[in-house]
Amino acid sequence: MPFPLSGKLKWGLAALLALALLAFYGSVSLKDFDPGAFFVSVSPRILTAFLLLLLGKVAIEFTSKAVDLAVKPAEIRPAAHRVWAMAVWAAVALCIVFVFVGDTATIIIASGFLLISFAIAFSPPLLSLAGWLYITSRRFYSVGDAIETDGACGEVAEVHLLSTKVWEFQPGQAGVTGKFVSIPNSTAFTKPVAVHRKGDQHVWDEVTLHLPACSDLPLAREIMVKACDEVLGSKKMGGNAKEQRSKLESMGVSHSIPGEPEVFTSLVPGGAELRLRYLVDAKQKADVKSAVSARILSMISEEKLKLR
């Protein structure tokens, strides 16, 4: 991996660093400057600096395989290589400063002030970097999972060093918006994040029906349950409930999970509200809700549900 700074910026910073060191320690004097003596005194340090740069390059190249072995998810390996390279070059730069300065106490004090200033100035990206480490090491979420947080909801497309790219969709609606949204990785620490794992995550959803109080409510409840069974399948609902029970038990949580759809009735102004509640795969939530709603309306029409 090449040196992280390139072009004019790299050489400009190197020149400024060299001038600062020379001016601070009085290595250059306008009155009595002996180029020969200066070269003899500085050339070993320059050679050592070049050797350290070469050693840093070799260390990055020889440890690339170890980084690949340590980082299992293939999608985050490029970012891991960049972080490792930055850490190596930072260590090399600190060693070079020590070679030219030689005063350990001065280096420690200056490094402390520099780190504090750096942390204050770059706290948002540093928090996002810490978020990336947390997300990737703890598998908080990965590519293909659906996440929902303040202002964004969608399927994870890429997890970068400082942000996560999400393929946006609107909660409770079918289909995607076609937009990619970038969410800072610091969100994992600063805001609540709901994660729906791909393939094995189930969530509760509801279909609501409002009827006048004089309606045939038992028939309406029967229609709602039957429509849900036809669309979702009673065996599928029971399997979803069994998986959720097993997952909660593995987490040490004891909770009653019904194995079939339930209908709850409540009074509202002017009538009654029926809420059909069922367990469904997270990524099928919008499609199943649409299909169940359509089937309920069709069965109401077929049964000619009459108002009393």
pLDDT tens for residues 118-141?
666 567 777 888 888 888 888 888
Structural domains of the chain, with CATH: 7-121 (no CATH), 140-196 (2.30.30.60), 202-303 (3.30.70.100)
b/e burial code for range 227-250 (CB count within 10 A of at least 16 → b)? bbbebbeeebbeebbebbbeeeee
Tens digits of residue pLDDT in 206-245: 898 888 877 788 888 889 989 988 888 766 667 777 777 6
Q: How far apart are CA 136 and CA 80, in angstroms?
A: 10
- β-pair partners for 165: 158, 182
Question: What does the pLDDT average to over 166-186?
Answer: 74
pLDDT at site 16: 54
Whole-number average pLDDT of the chain = 75
The Cα 73–Cα 173 span in angstroms is 31
Out of 10-24, 175-189, 275-289, pick the least confident: 10-24
Better-scored residue on pLDDT, 66 or 116:
66
Q: How far apart are CA 16 and CA 20, in angstroms?
A: 6
Q: Which residue has the higher pLDDT, 41 or 253?
A: 41
Whole-number pLDDT of residue 200: 58
Q: 64 with 85: CB under 8 angstroms?
A: no
- Whether the pLDDT of residue 1 is over 50: the answer is no
> Would you tell me how many other CB atoms lie within 10 Å of the CB of residue 116?
10
CA distance 225 to 221: 6
- Quick: pLDDT tens for 109-122: 766 766 676 666 56
Q: What contacts 98, CB < 8 A, 6 or more positions away?
A: 104, 107
Rounded mean pLDDT of 145-166?
A: 82
pTM exceeds 0.85 for this model: no
Residue-wise pLDDT for 49-63, tens only, equals 888 888 888 888 888
Q: Taking residues 155-174, report their average pLDDT.
A: 77
